[in-house]
Chains A and B, each alone.
Chain A
């Protein structure tokens, strides 16, 4: 039962990633693109955790933590660059 559930949730997450990619392509403003990229980071964290359940290993938690930190820092850096014209003043 659990393998079936992991497969179903994986398909849902992949559909969610494709929808985010669609918003990333068509986004009318640049802020929409940053938001879509941030959501793609979040969905990829979920997908990596699901892959860890599928492979029965806790090894991927570090990768998920790294992606979470890098996603936050990159989104804030994009936002600061658009606000001030510079990242670190």
Chain B
């Protein structure tokens, strides 16, 4: 393996490790759950992406061909990380996790929280409203 290949793999691995470490420090240090949610998502995309690309280059030089597994892991992580973050944010909103005080637009939170039970429980009222409002 030549020097420049090792240098490329080392740079990719080091940048990935730095991003993962910064994401974990952010998970520990930030003040709010919603701020904490934002930190490890970057670690997933950039940090693990860097480590996966470095591993892919290394395995290409080890085997002579690019296998599809690394690309599958990258694709899977890029697809699933926003879904997990969205579900966790929704759980935090419905469990009334505390916000820090200088969060803007705090009055919208109660409106957004109340939308789901209205839609599920009061189906008869909803059809009644539909009959009056939307026929005009």
Interface residues of A, Cβ cutoff 8 Å to B: 1-2, 5-6, 8-9, 12-13, 15-17, 19-20, 22-23, 29-32, 34-36, 38-39, 42-43, 45-46, 49-50, 52-53, 56, 58, 61-62, 64-65, 68-69, 72, 75-76, 79-80, 82-83
Contact between A61 and B67, CB atoms less than 8 A apart: yes
**Of A56, A68, A83, which one neighbours B91 at CB under 8 angstroms?**
A83
Main SS class of interface, A: helix
* A9 closest partner in B (C-beta): B17
Main SS class of interface, B: helix
Beyond known contacts A49-B55, A69-B76: 7 more, CB 8 A cutoff:
A1-B3, A2-B10, A5-B9, A46-B47, A79-B90, A82-B91, A83-B90
A-B contact count (CB 8 A): 151
Chain B residues bordering chain A, tally (CB within 8 A): 52
- Name the interface residues of B26-41: CB closer than 8 Å to any CB of A: 27-28, 33, 36-37, 40
Interface residues of B, Cβ cutoff 8 Å to A: 1, 3, 6-7, 9-10, 13-14, 16-18, 20-21, 23-25, 27-28, 33, 36-37, 40, 43-44, 47-48, 51-52, 54-55, 58-59, 62-63, 67, 69-70, 72-73, 76-77, 80, 83-84, 87-88, 90-92, 94-95, 97
